[in-house]
Structure 1
Amino acid sequence: MKQLFLCSYFAGVKNLFSDYAKEKNLEKKVLFIPTAGNKEDYTAYIDEAQQTFRDLGFEIEVLDIASCDRETAQAKIFQSKILYISGGNTFYLLQELKKKQLLSLIKEQIRDGLVYVGESAGAIITAKDIDYNKLMDDKTVATELSDTAGLDEVDFYILPHYGEEPFTDSSQKTFETYKNQLSLMLMNNSQAVIVNSEELKVVSEQD
């Protein structure tokens, strides 16, 4: 059964994930992929995400797929029950996933029960294609990315940080550009999208 927990800002949905983990009785071990942050100057959100997992009692194994070989990356993902993929540059993230031939493996593992937790870029790549995110992320850093096809696990397109600084302008511009072309899912930093099989639920920290 497909199990996805998608958000803009993982530290901002700590209580939601805590509830989700209890409801699902999740194993307290997560494979943590921070690779999307490799091309970012600001990466405090990655430390915050790790701390959030620790606060909730999770053991973290960090795996930068850009700096390990394909066999290691595939083996670690294959062995995992929970996979977290951080925010950062979506195009660079997708490039590195494709270079290590991980997309099809992640899809297979999701089918086999892997819980996929995606923050910002990690949430965006669950769409069929990520090209729409070029107004928010610099596409040119992914010099080896030949196509922008994503995991294709959801039939909508996450637009993270909507109305949130410093993404107010770029998220609004993305919305205006694609609102009539794509099924956009607007998310602020205190919301999460939970996908169970084909069932979709949007939850908020304020609820």
Structure 2
Amino acid sequence: MVKLFLVSMLNNVCDLLPKFAGDLHGKRVAYIPTASNVERGHQTMVRSETKLLVNRLGMQVNVLDVATASTAAIKAGLQAADVIYISGGNTFYLLQELRRTGADQLLVNEVNAGKLYIGESAGAAIAAPDIGYLSLMDSTKKAPDLPNYHALKLVDFYVLPHYLSFPFKRKSQQIFAKYSTKLPLKTISNHGVVMVNNDIVTITEK
């Protein structure tokens, strides 16, 4: 069973998560904030997202930065978790660090074994077969060691987060115009979620 909860902003739709995945109170979540390492406000984001997971969802949080953790620590952290949550930031930097450490395949193995995956913004886009379509939204220069844009392939479609939403209204329009006839895009606003339950894919906008 594969269960994915792909969002632009988890804070806006977290009330839908228990309805999709069941009661998460007391569940252990491996929270991967790596994508925001190269963005402004990284520490503020980590604090606010940790607070969301603990206070609103009642989860036990293990912050797991794949840019600094060892491969052994990443493997142990992912295996110990009930849920994996990758938050937003630069998608290309995130992919670079996932692949550099081998966390990409470790993560895929856990999700394919049935572990709930929550992907926010970059974390949602990384589930696609490839992330090259996001180069109009995220800077590829922040991932100088990334040889190609092949991603996790957890799904066969491409999530376009923040569609027609702040702060990416114009850029998301440009991406849609360029790729909507080339790729199976699934657009979600800042209040949207793509829910994947095996072969059933549902898109909800609040």
Match of 1:52 in 2: 52
Q: Which portions of structure 1, spanning 4 or more consecutive aligned residues, are displaced by more than 3 angstroms?
A: 24-27, 42-48
Q: What TM-score comes out, normalization by structure 1 length?
A: 0.93
Q: Is the 8 A contact 2:79 2:110 kept in 1?
A: yes
Match of 1:193 in 2: 194
Instruction: Describe the superposition over 1:143-170 as per-residue Cα deviations: whole angstroms up to 9, x where unpaired.
Output: 1111111111111111000111110111
Q: Is the 8 A contact 2:189 2:205 kept in 1?
A: no
Q: Which moved further from structure 2: 133-142 or 44-53?
A: 44-53
Aligned-CA RMSD value: 1.5
Matched positions, count: 204
Within 5 Å, which residues of 2 pair with 1:147-186? 147-186=148-187
In structure 1, distance between residues paired with 2:48 and 2:162: 16
Q: Is the 8 A contact 2:188 2:205 kept in 1?
A: no
Residue 59 of structure 1 and its aligned partner are, at CA, apart by 1.3
In structure 1, distance between residues paired with 2:57 and 2:25: 11
1:117 paired to 2:118: yes
Match of 1:10 in 2: 10
In structure 2, distance between residues paired with 1:116 and 1:155: 16
In structure 1, distance between residues paired with 2:47 and 2:189: 20
Which amino acid is 1:60 matched to?
V
Residue 18 of structure 1 and its aligned partner are, at CA, apart by 3.2
Which amino acid is 1:53 matched to?
L
List runs of 5+ in structure 2 lacking aligned partners: none
Within 5 Å, which residues of 2 pair with 1:85-104? 85-104=86-105
List runs of 5+ in structure 1 lacking aligned partners: none
In structure 2, distance between residues paired with 1:45 and 1:184: 27
